Structure 1
Amino acid sequence: MLSIAAVVTVLMTINLLWNIHQYSLQAEEEMREKAAVVARQLIATRSVIALRQDNINSDSQGHYEFKHLNPAAVGKEVGDFFNQSSGYKIKQTRFSVRAPENTPDSFEIEKMKVLAANSDLPAVWGYDVHGGEKVFRYFSPLYYDESCMPCHGKPAGGKDISGNLKEGFTAGDFAGAISIIVPMTAYETNQRSYIMNQLLFIVFMVLAIIGLIYILMEHIVIMPIQELTAKVTSIGDGQLETKLVDIHTYDEMKSFVEAFNTMADKIQHFYSELEQKVNERTYLLQEANVQLLEQGAALRAMNDKLSQADQLKSEFLAVMSHELRTPLTAIIAFSEILLYEENLSSQQREYLVDIFESSHQLLSQINDILDMSKIEAGLIRLDRRPTDIREIVDGIARIISPLLLKKNLQFHINISSAVPIIMADYDKVSHIIKNLIGNAVKFTPAQGSISIEAEVIHQKQESYLKIAVKDTGIGIREEEQSSIFEKFKQAGSPSEREYMGSGLGLALAHNFVQLHGGQIRVESKVGKGSIFTFTLPIVGTGGYIC
C-alpha cells in the first residue's frame, strides 16, 4: 500500500508540476496578448494624431495654431487615463527624453537596447519586481516615420513647433518603446488557488487509493491469510483434521485455500500411514535390538577369546624367542670358534661362514619378533640419555664396511656441524638407522651409492633432528609405499621378492620413531632409489612406558 501510494503521489506530483508549468505559460501568453493589444491601440492612437496634426492645429479660417496635441502628449494622456482605470502602467520612453517623467529605468534601457539592435523583433517582454510586487513587463518598439520629421528630423539642433530642439533623426530610425507594466497579483492568486486545489486533490486521491487498497487487501488477502495461519498452527499442534471451510475469497487465494485443504487431507493420510509404519518399525527394532544384544554378548565372548589368544601369542613368541636364542647363541659361538681353526678346507670354512651368518640373521629376526611382541604388550620403555648421532653412524659404517666392499657400494656421511647431542634411547635410535642403512645395502645393486644426512629443523616452535637415508636401489612402487611400515609387509608379490626378510624391520623402526615423538616417511621411484626420512625431538623427557 505504501509503495502504491508513493507511486501515485509521485505521478500526481509530476502532473501537478507539469500543469503549473502549463498554467504559467498560459498566463504569460494571456498577459502578453493583452499588453500587445494595449500597445497596438496606443500606437494606433499616436498614428492618427500624427496624421491629423494639420487639422488639429488649424482653426476654421485656416489659421495655424499649435494645440499641444502631438502624438507624445496624446499618448501620455491616454496612458494616464488607462492606468487609472486598469491597474496597468503605460509609459512612452526612449534613450533621450524631452519630458522627465518619460525617463527609462534600468529594465527599460536593457530591453530598448535589445529592440534597437534587432529591428525585426515585434516586441520583447520579461518579469520584474516593481514597487515591491512581481510584474510582467512588455515593450513594443516605436520607429520614426515622415509624420515625425517636423519635430524630430533635420536639421539637428533646430527648434520644432513646440520649441524643443530637433534631434536630426530620419524616417525608420528607432524612436523608443511603449513600456507596459502588467500587475501579476491576480495571476499569482489564481495560481496559488490552483496549486492548493491540486494538492488537496492529490491528498484525497492518495488517501482514497490507500483506503480502497486496504479494504481490498483486508477482505481478499489479510483475512484469509490470518485464518490460514490459525489453521496451520492447529495442524502444527496435531489437529490434522483441520480444514479451511469458512473462508470466502476469490481468484488466486481461492485456489490457495483449495490447495491447502488438499494438503491437509494428504498430511492426515500420510500421518496415519506413518503411525502404522512407525509401529511396524518399532516392532522390528525391538527384535533387532534383541538380536544385537545376543550378538553383542557373542562378540564380547569372542573378543575375550581373541584377547586371550593374542596374549597367548605374545607369551608364546616371547618364550619361543627366548628358547630359540639360547641354542642360536651356542651355534654362533661354536661356529666362530671353528672358524679360528687352521686345518679347515676351503669348503668347510665356507660352510662355517654360512652357518655363522645365517645364525646371526636368524637371531636378528628373533630379536625383532621379541621387540614387536613387547611393543604390542606395552612393555617397551625408552631410556633417554645423551645420544651422539655421529657415534651411531660411525659404528654402523664400520659394521657394514665388508658388505659395502663386497658389492662395491659408495657410502657417504653428511652430518651438519650444527647437529647437537640429543636426548634419545641410544639402542633404539641405533636400531632405526641400522635397519634403514641395512635395507639400503640390501636393495642397492652393485656400483650404487648410499648416503646418510642429518640436520636440525624447526617446526611449531620446537627443534627436531632430521635424518635421511638415500640410496640408488630398486625403489618401491607408489601403491606399496603406504603399507611398507606395517608388520610383515614387504614390497612386491611373494613371487617377485628377490630379497627375503621377516617384514618387521621397518615396522619396528616406525614404532621406535613414534615412541620418541617423531615421524618417518618414504619417497621412492622404481628404478631410481628411495629416501627414508625420520625426525627425532632434540630435547626429550625422561624414559617412559609406551
Structure 2
Amino acid sequence: MGLKGFGRKTGLRTKLIGLLTAVLVLITAVFLAYTYDDQSRRAEVNLLEKSRVLVAEMDAVWDFISLNQNTINYDADGTYDYKGIHCAIAGKSVAALFSEKSDYSIRFTNLKPRNIYNTPDAYEAAALEAFHSDDTVSEMWGFEQKDGEPVFRYVEVMNVSDACVDCHGAPAGELDATGYPKEGWAVGDVAGAVSVVVPARVELDNMRNAIVSNVAFFLLVALAMAVIIYVVISRMVTEPLTSLRSAFSSVGGQGTLGERGAPTGGESNTPTGGEPLKVLDVWNESALFTTREVDGLVRQYQSMAERLNALYGSLESQVAERTGQLQRANDELEQQRRRVEEINEQLQHENQYKSDFLAIVSHELRTPLASILAFTDLLQQEISPDNEAAVRQLSEIDKNGAILLEMVDNVLECARIQAGSESLNLELIDLNDLVGMIEAAMCPVAFKKGVAFSTHVSVTTPLMLGDWEKLRRVIANLVSNAVKFTPAEGRVTIDVERVGPHEREDDERWHGATRIGDLASEGDVVAISVADTGIGIPADKQVLVFERFQQENMTTVRRYGGSGLGLSLVKDLVAMMGGCVTLKSVAGEGAVFTVYLPVTDEGEISV
C-alpha cells in the first residue's frame, strides 16, 4: 500500500494523534536542548564564581604577607632578622592547608618554578603559554576528568608587583634573601598563575536533576494540552463527521433515509410517514457539540439529499423514456441504412448500364466511322487536285472523322477501365520513336493552325518497359489538347528527361503544381512534359478538368468542342502505370502538363 492509500485509510483521530505526537516530540527536543544549554551555563557560572572567590582570597593572603614583610622580618629595634616567611611561602602554605581540608585544590605554578612541586600540568601549561603570548588573556577555565571524576579547572594569571622585585627582580642570577637566584623580572611581567581545581560532580548532578524535572513538567503540561485538544476535536469534529457519514451512507441503495436515519426498503422513495428524513434533525439529536462550519456542511448536505430524493423519484421514468427514444432512433437508423443499401445497389446497376451503353454505342459507332474514313481516303485519291472545293470538303470530312474516331476510342477506353477489364500489354519502348510518331501526326495539325510545335528527348532517357498504345494515348491526348487550346502564333513543346529524387525536389514543375495521383516509387522517374502558350486554366478549375465529361466552362465547350474525356483518360492510364500527373498553369498564360513514371534500378520504367 502506498503512502497515498495509507493516508486515505487512516482516520482523523489517528492522524491527529500522530500529528500531536510528532509536534510534541519536536518541541520536547527543542526544550531539552535549550534546558541543557541553560543549566550547563548556570553550572559553569556557579563554579567560575566559586573559583574566582578562592583566587581572590588567596590574593588577599598573598597581599597581606607582602604588606607585612618588614614587620615580620625586622626586630623591634629595627634590625633585619629574616624569619623564613614571605608572601610565596605563606600563599603556598595556606593553599596546601585549604586543599587538605576540602575537596578543592589550590596551588601556584610557573613555567620555571623554584620548587619542583609547582611544575604545571598540561592544562596549566597551556594557560601559562596563553598568558605569555597574549597580555589580554588573564584567566582560563573549563571542565575535565580527573581520576574518573568531573572537575572544573580555573587558572588566573599572576603579574609581578613592586613587592615581588626584591626577590625576583634584577639583576638576574643574584641570590635573594631566601638563597635563590633572582629571575630578573620587571613589574607587570607574568610571574605565574593560581590554579584551582573544583569538584563538579555535585553541580553536574544538580544540573541533570534540574533538566529532568523541567522536561518532566513540560511533558506533563504538553500531554495535558494534547489530551484536551484531542477531546475537543473529537467532540467537535470527528463525532459530528461520523454522524454525517452515517447519514451519507443511508442515501441511495435500498432507498432514501427512513426514520431516525434508517434506510427504507423496497421501491419507496420516502419513509412511512410520507416525508424523507431531515438529516438536520438527526444531526441535532446526535451531536452535543457543534460549530458553525460543521453546521453549514450539514445544511448543505440536507439540501443535496433533498435534490437527490427528487432525482431518484423521476430517474426510472426518465430512463424508460430515454430508452424508448433511443430504440426509436435505432429503428430509424436501421431503416435509413437499408434504404442507403438499396440506393447503392440501384446506382451500381445504373452505372453498369451506363458503362455497357457507352461501350456498345462506341463500338457500334467505330465501325461506320472506320468505313467513312476509308471511303474518304479513296475519294481523296480519285479526286483531281484541281477540284479545290471537293478536296477541301473531303479534308474536312477526314479531319472531323478522325476526331470523332479518337473520341469514340477514348469512350471505349474509359468504359474498359471503369469496368476493370483493361490491362497493360508490356513491351520495350523507345521514347524517341514514340515522340517522333506523335510529332509526325500532330505537326500538320499545328502547322495548319499556325502553332509552332517542337520536341526534345534527353539523352539520359532510358528505354521503357510499358504499354505502347496506352502511353501513346496519354501523350497524344495532352498534345491534342495543347494544340486545340493554343491560338495562332502560339507554341507547343514536348520535353522528355530522366529526373532523380533530389532533382525532382528542385523541379518547378513539381512544386506548387496541382498533383493528380501518387508515385509508386520514390526513386528516379521519367518526366514527360507537354507545355503550351494557350488560354491556361484557372487555379480553382485545375482539379476539375481531370474529371470525366468536365471542362473549364460551357464557353470553352462551345468554342473548342470536345467530350471532356481526354484528361480523365490520361489520369486513369498514368495511374495504371504507377505514375502521377502534375498541372501548372495561369489563366491566359498557357499550361504545363507533366507525367511522372517511376524507373527501376535497371533503368527501365516500372509498371
Class of the TM-score when normalised by the shorter of the 2 chains: 0.7 to 0.9
Count residues with an aligned counterpart. Answer: 537
* Residue in structure 1 matching 2:568, options 507, 512, 516: 507
Matches within 5 A, 1:338-349: 338-340=379-381, 341-349=383-391
Partner of 2:366: 325
1:173 Cα deviation (Å)? 2.7
Q: Percent identity?
A: 30
1:176 aligns with 2:197: no
Matches within 5 A, 1:256-267: 256-267=297-308
Partner of 2:554: 494
1:469 aligns with 2:529: yes
Matches within 5 A, 1:111-130: 111-128=127-144, 130=146
Provide the rounded CA distance (Å) in 1 between the counterparts of 2:233 and 2:430.
Answer: 90
User: Per-residue CA shift, 1:250-278, capped at 9, x if unaligned?
Assistant: 44444333333322332343354454444
Partner of 1:534: 596
Letter of the aligned partner of 1:407 in structure 2? V
Q: Secondary structure at the match of 1:484?
A: helix
Bigger RCO of structures 1 and 2 (CA < 8 A, at least 6 apart): 1
User: Per-residue CA shift, 1:274-316, capped at 9, x if unaligned?
Assistant: 5444444444455555555555555555444434333322222
Provide the rounded CA distance (Å) in 2 between the counterparts of 1:364 and 1:135.
Answer: 128
Do 1:142 and 1:176's aligned partners in 2 also have CA atoms closer than 8 Å? Answer: yes
Which of 195-204 and 104-113 deviates more?
A: 195-204
1:29 aligns with 2:45: yes
Do 1:517 and 1:537's aligned partners in 2 also have CA atoms closer than 8 Å? Answer: no
* Residue in structure 2 matching 1:350, options 392, 406, 411: 392
1:125 Cα deviation (Å)? 3.3
1:536 Cα deviation (Å)? 4.3
| TM-score normalised to structure 1 length | 0.82
User: Per-residue CA shift, 1:146-166, capped at 9, x if unaligned?
Assistant: 222322223332222222222
Provide the rounded CA distance (Å) in 1 between the counterparts of 2:482 and 2:228.
Answer: 94
Q: Secondary structure at the match of 1:467?
A: strand
Q: Secondary structure at the match of 2:594?
A: strand
1:457 Cα deviation (Å)? 5.2
1:140 Cα deviation (Å)? 1.9
1:306 aligns with 2:367: no
1:329 Cα deviation (Å)? 1.6
Do 1:115 and 1:141's aligned partners in 2 also have CA atoms closer than 8 Å? Answer: yes
Provide the rounded CA distance (Å) in 1 between the counterparts of 2:311 and 2:220.
Answer: 54
Partner of 1:416: 460
Provide the rounded CA distance (Å) in 1 between the counterparts of 2:44 and 2:28.
Answer: 24
Which of 451-460 and 253-262 deviates more?
A: 451-460
Q: Secondary structure at the match of 1:495?
A: helix
Q: 1:288 to 1:208 in 2, by over 3 A?
A: same
| TM-score normalised to structure 2 length | 0.75
Do 1:485 and 1:507's aligned partners in 2 also have CA atoms closer than 8 Å? Answer: yes
1:389 Cα deviation (Å)? 4.8
1:504 Cα deviation (Å)? 2.0
Provide the rounded CA distance (Å) in 2 between the counterparts of 1:511 and 1:462.
Answer: 20
Do 1:481 and 1:522's aligned partners in 2 also have CA atoms closer than 8 Å? Answer: yes
Letter of the aligned partner of 1:427 in structure 2? E
Q: 1:141 to 1:469 in 2, by over 3 A?
A: same
Partner of 1:427: 469
Q: 1:432 to 1:46 in 2, by over 3 A?
A: same
RMSD: 4.0
Q: Secondary structure at the match of 1:509?
A: helix
Matches within 5 A, 1:358-437: 358-389=400-431, 391-403=433-445, 405=447, 406-414=450-458, 416-417=460-461, 419=462, 421-422=464-465, 424-437=466-479
Partner of 2:3: none
Q: 1:294 to 1:38 in 2, by over 3 A?
A: closer
Do 1:467 and 1:534's aligned partners in 2 also have CA atoms closer than 8 Å? Answer: yes
Q: Secondary structure at the match of 1:164?
A: coil
User: Per-residue CA shift, 1:332-378, capped at 9, x if unaligned?
Assistant: 22233333333354343333323222222222222222222333333
Do 1:409 and 1:447's aligned partners in 2 also have CA atoms closer than 8 Å? Answer: yes
Structure 2, unmatched stretches of 5+, are: 1-14, 258-262, 264-276, 503-518, 602-607
Do 1:522 and 1:533's aligned partners in 2 also have CA atoms closer than 8 Å? Answer: no
Partner of 2:89: 73
Partner of 1:542: none
Structure 1, unmatched stretches of 5+, are: 540-546
Letter of the aligned partner of 2:444 in structure 1? P
Provide the rounded CA distance (Å) in 2 between the counterparts of 1:359 and 1:230.
Answer: 98
Letter of the aligned partner of 1:144 in structure 2? V
